[in-house]
Amino acid sequence: MQALLDAIAKRSFVVFGRAGMDLFAATPGVKSEDAGMFQADLGGSSANICAGLVKLGCRAALVTSVSDDAVGRFAVNRLRHYGVDTTHLQVVGGEYRLSLAVYESRIEDFQNVIYRNGAVDFQVTPQDVERVDYAAFGALITAGTVLAADPAREATFHAFDLARRAGLPIIFDIDYRPYSWPSPEVAAQVLSRAGAESDMIVGNDEEFGFMAGGIDKGLAKARELAAQGKLVVYKMGHQGAITFADGQEIRTGIFPVTAIKPNGAGDSFMAGLLAGIADGRPLREAVLRGSACASIVVSRPGCAPAMPDTQGLNEFLAAHPGATDC
């Protein structure tokens, strides 16, 4: 466990997964079909995690493929805007396309329409990941969606091996999105393999339950993985989280806010958690900083643009001194 914490303390992460474009109704509360104008920004879980980490003072390099078109170039420009290292992006031509999410800043009847036909992020190859200098980073982060199809699945597991040889721990955000997978059975098998090969696993109760074969078995699955020496964070939405580390179960709550949308919270939580650990904060405090980041993001439009920097996070915590009980 200490080796994992020491690696995170290097504040330098190589991140696998997708970048995308988000389009969200410019006026909070307005449904997509009624919107007169939309705002565009960076999207995709791994890209969002990168943006959140950089805003909190860490280095993040994204390993993915983007489409050779205006939308792909938009995502690259926004990654650079947020300070994400784009050295390892591959541009892929043809009919492959960057993911697009169209959603709203509203809670009631929230819609998030995802376009992932011919998703370009699945075109990362083993040769692409071999170009990465893993020794230049402290840890590898991956989101589970990148494992949904080959060649990206094969490439990401190959990257696990390369990272291990370089002494890097693997941080796994389960990030289960059913629409990306050929079947639930394949998803459960592959995500379970990724969990077994990881040092740190973050997911919600439904995701752990899915891996275990039933939501009622999710908590037991988290405990089982933690018993193998892994750091496991089991998120339960408004009920907070349970963090399993070195035989301890650390229960933490959330910071209540007026939410205007449900998405982006998990990506921001991961960024805040890792940045908190990198700062040398006790694990409980680091988890709470992740929870604060999640609360901030759901109270603002967009995902990447809604993520706080260190000053914004500290100001939020000063104004919200206590989380709810778990």
Q: Is residue 285 part of a domain?
A: yes
| Closest residue by Cα to residue 138 from 61, 52, 63, 234 | 61
- List, in order, residues 6 or more apart from 314 with CB less than 8 Å away: none
The total domain count for the chain is: 1
Tell me the residue length of the chain: 326
Q: Is residue 24 part of a domain?
A: yes
Q: Is residue 51 part of a domain?
A: yes
Q: What is the CATH number for 213?
A: 3.40.1190.20
Q: Is residue 325 part of a domain?
A: no
Average pLDDT (71-83) is: 98
| Closest residue by Cα to residue 199 from 276, 138, 271, 241 | 138
pLDDT digits (tens, 9 = 90+) for 251-278: 999 999 999 999 999 999 999 999 999 9
pLDDT at 318 over 60: yes
Instruction: Give the pLDDT band (50/70/90) at residue 182.
Output: very high
Phi, psi of 194 (to 5 degrees): -60, -40
Beta partners for 89? 64
DSSP run (H or E) holding 164:
helix 152-165
Helix 184-196 and helix 205-212, axial crossing angle in degrees, nearest 10: 100
pLDDT at 321 over 90: no
Q: Which two tokens stand for residue 263?
A: 């998405």
| Closest residue by Cα to residue 39 from 98, 109, 101 | 101
Instruction: Give the pLDDT band (50/70/90) at residue 324.
Output: confident
Q: Mean pLDDT over all residues of the chain?
A: 96
CA-to-CA distance for 57 and 294, rounded, in angstroms? 17
Task: Classify residue 26 as exposed, middle or buried by CB count within 10 Å of its CB (0-12, 13-18, 19+).
Answer: middle
- Give the range of the structural domain holding residue 50, as residue numbers without chain letter: 2-319
Q: What pLDDT was estimated at residue 325?
A: 61
pLDDT digits (tens, 9 = 90+) for 218-251: 999 999 999 999 999 999 998 999 999 999 999 9
Q: Is residue 208 part of a domain?
A: yes
CA-to-CA distance for 85 and 103, rounded, in angstroms? 27
Instruction: Give the pLDDT band (50/70/90) at residue 124.
Output: very high
Phi, psi of 288 (to 5 degrees): -65, -35
Locate tokens 């989380």: which residue?
A: 323
Instruction: Give the pLDDT band (50/70/90) at residue 202.
Output: very high
Q: Is residue 175 part of a domain?
A: yes
Q: Is residue 326 part of a domain?
A: no
Q: Give the Cβ contact number of residue 49 at 10 Å.
A: 31
CA-to-CA distance for 235 and 1, rounded, in angstroms? 20
Q: Is residue 305 part of a domain?
A: yes
pLDDT at 326 over 60: no
